[in-house]
Amino acid sequence: MTRLTPNSVVSVGNMRMPIIGLGTWMSTPEEIDIALNAAIDAGYRHIDTAFAYFNEAAIGSSLKKIFESGKITREELFITTKLPMPGNRYEDVEVFLKKSLEDLQLDYLDLYLVHFPAGMVNKDMSNIFPTDDDGKPMIDRSTDLLELWKGMEAQVDEGRTKNIGISNFNKNQIQKILDNCRIRPANLQVELHINLQQKELVSFCKENGVTVVAYSPLGSSGYKTFLEKGGISTEGARVLHPMEDPVIKEIAKNHNKQPSHVLLRYLIEYGVAVIPKSTNPSRIKKNFDIFDFKLTEEEFEKISALDRGEGGRILGGRGMVGFFNLLEDHPEYPFPK
């Protein structure tokens, strides 16, 4: 393993993505400015957002001020956003991406991801999870991943994004894109943490030159609150506490670090980028502080053994309580593959 530093990147082709980025799901517009400034000051040069997080406009106005202050330039920052499910068709990609760029006050993105392989009806752009009169999700079963990908490729041609990728896709869906694309997906963003290590999928991506970003790397402790706020029952929802794991605590103690450091350090040593979310300035700073220690081989193996496979999935899969599984009826519903 080459030495990991705050400037380390995961790369493919011309894409150089900083190995740690700031996650912003559930970060409210009011919280964004403080969070972004704390992140930039701490050394983050990578920001992850999505149309569906409803904070792109706040990120845009905060970034504008940050760039104007001369703290950093646009070119020094790596910015990812995502196409929401109602945009999952060729002609809608451009419409949604233009709106994201307008809100983010940017000329281009570094990475644009298809957020989820399943599409929904595009009832009205501001409604990213449309439901019918009976409250049922308006799934668009006609999602054509190859046509959608052509729409993504067109955005690279138009210069709106430097790279394109996918999120929450399974191996078969990625293979289908790889077999038919003109521009290869540069990145896959998936749920990935010590309890769901996605070893087969990560190996597959490495073999195929697709970089991987681990979302919910700390175990997404805010997810239950998110479901409750959305009126989704949390009864039976899987809640895991990777930061409380005795193995992680013990290893943290060995290095005089916090469990959160060990969770993130393991993932970057494993070869993926991480995007921990926080809006708390001291936790934002703390999460970046993972470059002054290294896991021993034995510690790495112990953490590797904490993988529970599908039993470690938190955000939802077929038959699980959660948000994603509201789309189980879609032919491209991905988990498990």
Catalytic site positions: 53
Q: Which of 60, 86, 185, 217 binds ligand NAP (CB under 6 A)?
A: 217
Residue nearest to ligand NAP (CB): 23
Determine if 280 is a binding residue for ligand NAP (CB under 6 A). yes
Both structure tokens of 161: 């994004």
Q: Which residues contact 26 (CB under 8 A, 6 or more apart)?
A: 53, 222, 225, 226, 277
Q: How far is CA 280 from CA 27, 122, 123, 287, in A?
A: 10, 35, 35, 11
Q: Which of 18, 84, 185, 219 binds ligand NAP (CB under 6 A)?
A: 219
Size of the site for ligand NAP (CB under 6 A): 26
Q: How far apart are CA 9 and CA 15, in angstroms?
A: 9
18-47 mask for ligand NAP (x: CB under 6 A)?
A: -----xxx----------------------
Determine if 296 is a binding residue for ligand NAP (CB under 6 A). no
Tokens 């919280």 identify what position? 31
Q: Which of 160, 162, 277, 313 binds ligand NAP (CB under 6 A)?
A: 277
CB of 99 to ligand NAP, least distance (A): 18
Determine if 260 is a binding residue for ligand NAP (CB under 6 A). yes
Determine if 167 is a binding residue for ligand NAP (CB under 6 A). yes
- Between residues 70 and 221, which has the closer beta carbon with respect to ligand NAP? 221
| Residue 241 labeled ligand binder | no
Of 245, 256, 252, nearest to 307 by C-alpha is 245
- Between residues 15 and 32, which has the closer beta carbon with respect to ligand NAP? 32
Q: How far apart are CA 26 and CA 175, in angstroms?
A: 31
- Window contacting ligand NAP (CB under 6 A); options: 103-111, 144-152, 157-165, 214-222: 214-222
Q: How far apart are CA 41 and CA 31, in angstroms?
A: 16
**What is the full DSSP assignment across 20-58?**
B-EE-TT--HHHHHHHHHHHHHHT--EEE--GGGT-HHH
* Type and span of the H or E element at 155: helix 145-157
Binding residues for ligand NAP, rule: CB under 6 A, are 23-25, 48, 115, 167-168, 189, 215-222, 260, 275-280, 283, 286-287
